[in-house]
Structure 1
């Protein structure tokens, strides 16, 4: 008979937490406080995925192994939630560059020129995948997107491959093979995400250093823009989540596929606490901090029209750093 377990309770707590964020973002969209075509759209996508993931977590916590499809959906949606959140953090740094640097350009992702064929660019990504970077070598984010996509595929494939294992006979050759292949695949994917988080820290610190030296849209030098402070704070739960991802993929005692982590109706209390504190709480905190940048960036100027930026940079003797003075 279905029962409301501790795992279902933890999933419900974070479902409420993510629904609160979902409600705030939907309100902000409907009242035009934030735009659909903005950095917040990817964050909204993350929140939507996490709402679905937590709903599946409640279902699995109540039904247990009577419905394993809910369990698989919980795992896959959780992986996609972390993937989207890492991309969110980079998008927020890029947006800060575009709103606050004198050039109104981000050195992470130069904006497309007005005559760029965006449909062609889209299909290059669709058909070429990671090879698209051959056409956009001057755009670091293209390469990074491609690498993260491959890492995400490795994590999802590794988890799905292990889902077919026979856990009634954990010492069988097939089960042991599946465990090894999944461990390698998931660890490799999580390692890329962890490396991405390390790179993110370097980018944030370089941006903060330049902000102190050159100032920003507030016309202040020697200080740090509050949005950058929030991004730096948000990095800490993200790196904890990344380290946990590595450990969960490589240490069997922390794995979803360790039978000792399950009772008759689902996760043990120990595993539930580990999963939700290190896996879900860290993502929710980072998500809330990214949302708070709305308040710290309200007075930032709009992104300059790219036509104006290009024309200004063509003026003799005006380097991008000097655009603000013209």
Structure 2
């Protein structure tokens, strides 16, 4: 019988976080996991072959960090958030140094190895590109509104802002908007994930209204665009936000996590759900695949979708789990008629 506190029989990461998780990221080649949380902390674990996560190191911000990503060399981690600055955390020395700043909280960041630059997206309505050898941004790109979502798959960068604006950039010309549109979804954008496939340029858009759009950049592929519903209770009465989406590193399929406490695996090519996992006791604000896609990390914690009135600190759940990914969950398969 399933454990109601761990209905998917995942490995639990022992973590002393006292507030909700905001992001998860993995080392590009090894099984080191980093989590940021609203208690201002950034923590790192080494995940063993047994599934046990061993604490390695920790650092902090002056205000809650909201995002994180490893440098391509795996030696350091970029983090940023409500203190309006991005830091580079050297895991060998445990030293964190400021590498970027904005005039408002930084919601997202991404290391672009092909440009040797960090890009940060903020609620100050700008994207800023940083050459880490310089203190000032190499380029500041004004956005239509506050940055809510950002995803990079070189040469594609896609940013989603307030008021449902989406801007698409070709990173060969990061100072020029390649395409601007309003989200095909009718409600606020929560997350974006660029296709990892270099041959087909596109991205996913997830909204607060339990829906995902599959979008292609090139106009001649517009007929392949579609949307689908997800993270809704049976009968459709209760509709939840799509909190995060990430592509499997090798299969081209992806996972969504929701405010309903579920995570689902999807195949966009064959327009089907591959696996629906059991509902957890709290929302899932973030998730991430490890470098080879054999582990999916996901966090359980309150995501504030019902505001402060629904938050009970005494009963709050703040946990990280590791799911052993099965081939049947992530491999594309043709629909059976």
Q: TM-score, normalised by structure 2?
A: 0.27
Higher share in helix = 1
Higher share in strand = 2
**Radius of gyration: which is bigger?**
1
Q: Which has the higher contact order (CA 8 A, sep 6+)?
A: 1
